[in-house]
Chains A and B, each alone.
Chain A
Amino acid sequence: MADCGEPDGPDNKDNITRSKNEGKELTKEEKQRLRKQKKQQKKQKERKDEKGPSETEKEKTPVSLLPPRPVATQKAPSALPAPASAPIPVPASAPFHSSPTPSPADKPAKSKAELKAERRARQETDRASKQPGSSSSSIKTKAPLSELNPVVKRLPEHVQVDDPAVVKRLAKKLERQQIPLRSDYGYKVSLFSHLHQYSRKAPLTQQLSIPSTVIHPSIVRLGLQYSQGIVAGSNARSVALLHAFKQVIRDYTTPPNEELSRDLVNKLKPYISFLNQCRPLSASMGNAIKYIKKEISNIPSQCKEEEAKTKLLQCIDRYIEEKIVLAAKAISKYAIEKISDGDIILVYGCSSLVNHILCEAFEKSRKFRVIVVDSRPRLEGREALRRLVQRGISCTYVLISALSYILPEVSKVFLGAHALLANGYVMSRVGTSQIALVARTFNVPVLVCCETYKFCERVQTDSFVSNELDDPDDLMVTRKGKTQLENWQDVSSLGLLNLVYDVTPPDFVDLVITDLGMIPCTSVPVVLRVKNLDQ
């Protein structure tokens, strides 16, 4: 198409300018032609800088540019931090605001599409300069995006289940990666029809063939552990994920004619899709994956394979050490200052961090009592109760419906978090917001403990738009020999809802204890900005 476009170039340009001036919408082919022309002009500029390629090369380069282009769109997501600025293939309906001839003076405000085109062109120049074997260009550092640049986010698939086009796209992608698609189970409450709802009795691994060549066995095991709830809790899941990736890296060998930095990232993609199908990724896992991908892409191309692999393994170990283990120590140090003798502390569910803090405080001989609040159907509080009682801490156990009865005795509430959102909301196990609300009514301080690697850039104001639905059969229970909801599937107007997460507004939370110190809930975007600048 470029060949037919080139000789007509000037004529077409006139047509296009004419139609633009008349205010008509550009057709799809015209826009594609425009894009190609802009690219070629950029190429021409670069070619003029590098001395004198022959005429034949000039003819060849437009053609050779085309095959790398589809590759570029796939590479771009891996090179740029996913999913924040994943480039959408330029939508056909995006109107061009500027004139077809790119001149800086003519366009005061760049459109998003043009920014993307420029960025892609820049990447292609890097690739073009690397391929002829020039060793001088190092990997170009991405120009730091100023904060005011519009970031086009792609909505994650797992909150668009009600859109059939998205579901089809996902099915195609999974087919390409040879991963089975997990089907939804049971009647979904209409308010949550945009989310997946899976049954624990039908794990994804049943649909895998043996031996499966695409997915590494440690990833298969990990996916099964996630979907059955054997590994639960955001820290545990992240650590398990990182260990599985370490195993993958150890077993990895670079195929010939491929570079480790690019091929390994591509190998990881189907694994991540598989894990996502088993159980939607948590915010902490997302951040860990971003970090690993960045580390892998930053491996210089002349590095030997063994060296690269040891380097990566060390990076992962350091990440776990810094972000999880040492962070927990730092947080306990701050939190212990807040626990005084004679306190009665309320905790909810099983948060590894909060349990760690309480055990440390007990070892430093603080005298306090703990009240563990639990909720159906997960009943994670029993695990926390076991751990605390084994250390010798005196505990009381209640269910969340008895909260108003027990709160007048409580002096402090310690809560764990699954993620902290950029607008200050705390995303945590369902029921946390209720505890924070009732605690605020009784004027009891609420302290949230969270490591900084769980901070994420999403914003959310209610618990509906992005959540996870667990197996609805968990709500069934047998009391006095009768299971009331046994045949809930047969009754058409009955639905069971088993939410996993909810968001707590920042006005219910008094303090957030992180490894960077004790901050108010509203300072989360500040921390995120500092972290981005560091990286």
Chain B
Amino acid sequence: MPGADKETAITERIEAFLADLKRGGSGTGPLRGSGEMARETTYLLRRITAQARWSSAGDLMEIIRNEGRRMTAAQPSETTVGNMVRRVLKIIREEYARSRGSSEETEQQESLHKLLTSGGLSEENFRQQFVHLKANVIEAINELLTELDGTTDNIAMQALEHIHSNEVIMTVGRSRTVEAFLKDAARKRKFHVIVAECAPFCQGHEMATGLSKAGIETTVIADAAIFAVMSRVNKVIIGTQTVLANGGLRAVNGAHSVALAARHHSTPLIICAPMFKLSPQFPNEEDTFHKFVSPHEMLPFTAGEILSKVNVHCPVFDYVPPELITLFISNIGGNAPSYIYRLMSELYHPEDHEL
């Protein structure tokens, strides 16, 4: 049956994607950037929308929610996957509301009066069937994909507003967004970049070679020298893995030390992060916040017998509280960390915060 074939094809794709997620997280598989991850997820969701069997919006949302739960369980630290799922869910809700003809405003209002009079859960159960819903949803997902494709360029276009000549800029580790940002500014301005290498993986080296090939004066320093050179730095520009709901960051390890040193010297800390990294998580989930990888880069097996007697920790992420951050630069413009909660309400529906 053609339908069954389609279903098996879909399930195969999903399984392959999940396996990829699990492998990619351990650091041994091919490391993918978050942008790629987001795009892959959206492609997959579009496929599910196109090929899975569903009759009403509620069914579709149920399917997507299930798949989303499996995907986030495969790699909890890869938050962009969950973010894309929530975006798609919001798209479905919007398209449904538009098809029904009711304005979006009244749907979204969570006024106290409405809560009291409606008596708890909304009656909306998305059971109505619309003919063009599928096409509309797929069109909206395509728009989302175009937006994803253009995020890096959008951020890089704002570079000249923030970097002046003869500045010394510090960055940590490797971020494709920050690399594009700096390269775009280097076309018109001359400045100096200091890259902290970010042991034990030393992604900073790759960043430095990339920047110096674009003609930017680059210096590589060890992580230990961050405070020592911070007094000469004008701005700190870093990327991040996730932007949390309170405006804080889950960034590469060492970012917190950089943020503290920047605050001590009153240097502005600028984060270049596209909107798909914004996640409705809060930072107080101790067991899911940190991710650890094998410490064989830090203390190799050649160290000998002491290996069995010591504990070695190699965390990947760091929490940076929102008080230390000056500015977020995203594809929709610059924002203060205190505004992040409003952006979240525009991107995700509150009922989707928990998948």
Contacts and interface: CB of A to CB of B under 8 A. Distances in A.
A102 B201 CA distance: 71
A375 B253 contact: no
Contact of A401 (B205, B254, B299): B254
A395 B308 CA distance: 11
A43 to B, nearest CB: 54
B257 A397 contact: no
Interface stretch (A107-115, A241-249, A431-439): A431-439
B223 interface: yes
A382 B220 contact: no
A382 B302 CA distance: 12
B310 A395 contact: yes
B219 interface: yes
Given A438-B256, A485-B209, A491-B209, A402 B315 contact: yes
B319 interface: yes
Contacts of B311: 395-397
Contacts of B200: 376, 399, 401
A413 interface: no
Given A401-B254, A404-B319, A475 B219 contact: no
B222 A495 contact: no
B112 interface: no
Interface residues of B, number: 51
Nearest to B213: A491
A496 B220 contact: yes
Contact of B313 (A382, A400, A406, A433): A406
B209 A499 contact: no
A502 B227 contact: yes
Nearest to B224: A431
Interface stretch (B14-22, B43-51, B228-236, B238-246): B228-236
A499 B197 CA distance: 14
| Contact residues on A (Cβ < 8 Å of other chain), bracket | 35 or more
B190 to A, nearest CB: 11
A401 B197 CA distance: 10
Interface in A486-533: 488, 491, 493-499, 502
Interface string A354-396: 0000000000000000000011110000100110010000111
A495 to B, nearest CB: 5
Interface string B189-209: 000000001111110011011
A238 B309 CA distance: 33
B223 A493 contact: no
Contacts of A491: 209, 212-213
A434 B348 CA distance: 39
Contacts of A396: 310-313
A438 B299 contact: no
A405 B202 CA distance: 18
Given A463-B228, A494-B209, A401 B219 contact: no
A497 B199 contact: no
A398 interface: yes
B325 to A, nearest CB: 15
B216 A493 contact: yes
Given A382-B299, A438-B260, A485-B208, A400 B225 contact: no
A313 to B, nearest CB: 39
Contacts of B299: 382, 397
B225 A382 contact: no
Given A463-B229, A485-B220, A405 B261 contact: no
Contacts of A484: 202, 205-206, 208-209
Contacts of B144: none
Nearest to B263: A441
A477 interface: yes
B317 to A, nearest CB: 9
A510 B197 CA distance: 30
Nearest to A372: B310
A479 interface: yes
Contacts of A375: 199, 222-224
Contact of A400 (B216, B218, B223): B223
Interface string A395-433: 111111111111000000000000000000000011101
B337 to A, nearest CB: 18
B201 A493 contact: no
A210 interface: no
A464 B310 CA distance: 36
Interface string A161-197: 0000000000000000000000000000101000000
A462 interface: yes
Interface of B: 197-202, 205-206, 208-209, 212-213, 215-229, 231-232, 253-254, 256-257, 260-261, 264, 290, 297-299, 303, 306, 309-315, 318-319
Given A398-B298, A398-B314, 19 more contacts: A374-B298, A376-B200, A376-B224, A385-B306, A394-B309, A397-B299, A400-B257, A401-B199, A401-B253, A404-B319, A405-B253, A405-B318, A437-B264, A484-B205, A484-B206, A493-B217, A497-B220, A499-B221, A499-B229
10 contacts: A376-B223, A400-B224, A402-B253, A403-B256, A404-B256, A479-B297, A491-B209, A494-B209, A496-B220, A497-B229
In the A-B complex, the 9 residue pairs with the closest CB atoms: A431-B224, A401-B254, A484-B205, A404-B256, A375-B224, A494-B212, A502-B228, A463-B228, A434-B227
